[in-house]
Amino acid sequence: MNEISWNVLNNNNLTAAGRLSMALDEADAVLIGVGAGMAAADGFTYAGPRFTESFPDFIEKYCWLDMFQASVFDFETLNEEWAFFSRFVDLNYMSQPLGESYVRLNELLEGKNYHIITSNADNAFEIAGFNPDRVFDVQGKYNLLQCSQGCTQKRYNNEALMKKMIEQQNSMRVPDDLIPYCGECGAPMELNRRNHTDWMVEDEKFCLDQKLFNNFLDENINKKILLLELGCGYMAPQVIKHPFQKMTENRSNALYMTVNLKDYSMPHEIRDRLVWLQEDIKKLLSDVEKEQQFTKMKTYETEH
């Protein structure tokens, strides 16, 4: 494969918004990796008031610092565990509002050849109107249940159950009859999310989404591809960050662009095809939208 040049790499006078806009225009295909940083940019944080206002009783009892710590806590009973997770699912899926950054990203990608892989398990892409066939939820979905023992490759919608748990819980406990158990083996059910052993139930829908993702990579192997990373850190770098970097190293036609406020070490092998934008994602996407609107206006004025 012949190495493909990217004009955006040779233009150091552009703003961050200008560089992203130019890269999007140059690319024949765009692969977007979205992590927790993008959700946080829209206010969907796992710490601060959003956390403390939703779980004051649990925080008082266990002195948790954030929802990450809480979500891996070893609860004493399933009654208490589901009292927490029912509120967690409501906050981070069922009642999560529309994210402005997701709406802008959807608009910026209109008409483009793109696919998304996300480590977030919320409903941000659904509520923003993205084509579900172009979004791969590789780490699971908070609105689904799975057998904790993985005895069956099935996932079950949990939203009606979560609402009942929220309504009926008392003193940080849900009633015994609301605790979900696997209909196949009798083991407790749990949220569909990849755990610390990198395991989760992957049903037919998951496998179809994975196939669509892999098909996109195969179909665009010889095209000029932008690997755009939005808010991916090092909590689970093996999911998006490391594969994106390896893909850039192996594809001479790829450009790796990462948007993150934190400074992470980057492999030397890809530094000649790497753009790091140390920007707030929400502001950056807003600026790109404004820049493209301005460009369209100037083009219209020139033509008329």
* pTM, two decimal places: 0.93
Place of tokens 């990796």: 33
Tokens representing residue 81 in the block? 């565990």
Least confident span in 173-177, 222-226, 265-269: 265-269
Q: Within 10 Å of residue 166's Cβ, how many Cβ atoms?
A: 15
pLDDT digits (tens, 9 = 90+) for 249-293: 999 999 999 999 987 788 999 999 999 999 999 999 999 998 777
Nearest to 19 by CA among 288, 294, 248: 288
Give Cα 127 distance to the centre of its chain: 13
Evaluate if residue 199 carries a pLDDT over 80.
Answer: yes
Buried/exposed code over 222-247 (b: 16+ C-beta within 10 A; e: otherwise): eebbbbbbbbbbeebbebbbebbbeb
Note the helical H segments in 34-188.
36-41, 49-52, 56-62, 67-71, 78-89, 100-108, 124-127, 159-168
CATH superfamily of 7-41+99-139+202-303: TPP-binding domain (3.40.50.1220)
Q: Quick: pLDDT tens for 147-169.
A: 999 999 999 999 999 999 999 99
Look at 13 and 86; give whichever has higher pLDDT. Answer: 86
Angle formed by the axes of helices 281-303 and 100-108, nearest 10°: 40
CA distance 88 to 90: 5
Q: Is 7-41+99-139+202-303's fold the same as 49-95+141-193's?
A: no
Instruction: Give the up-direction half-sphere exposure of residue 17: CA atoms within 13 A in the CB hemisphere.
Output: 17
Q: What is the pLDDT of residue 254?
A: 97
Is 151 assigned a ligand-binding role in the annotation?
A: yes
- Annotated binding-site residue? 147: yes
Q: Has 182 been labeled as part of a binding site?
A: yes
Q: Which CATH class is domain 49-95+141-193?
A: alpha beta
Nearest to 230, CA basis, from 112, 89, 108? 108
- Confidence at residue 264, expressed as pLDDT on a 0 to 100 scale: 79
Measured in whole angstroms, the distance separating CA 35 from the mean position of its chain's CA atoms is 4
Domain ranges within the chain, ordered by starting residue: 7-41+99-139+202-303, 49-95+141-193
Determine whether the annotation assigns residue 207 to a binding site: no
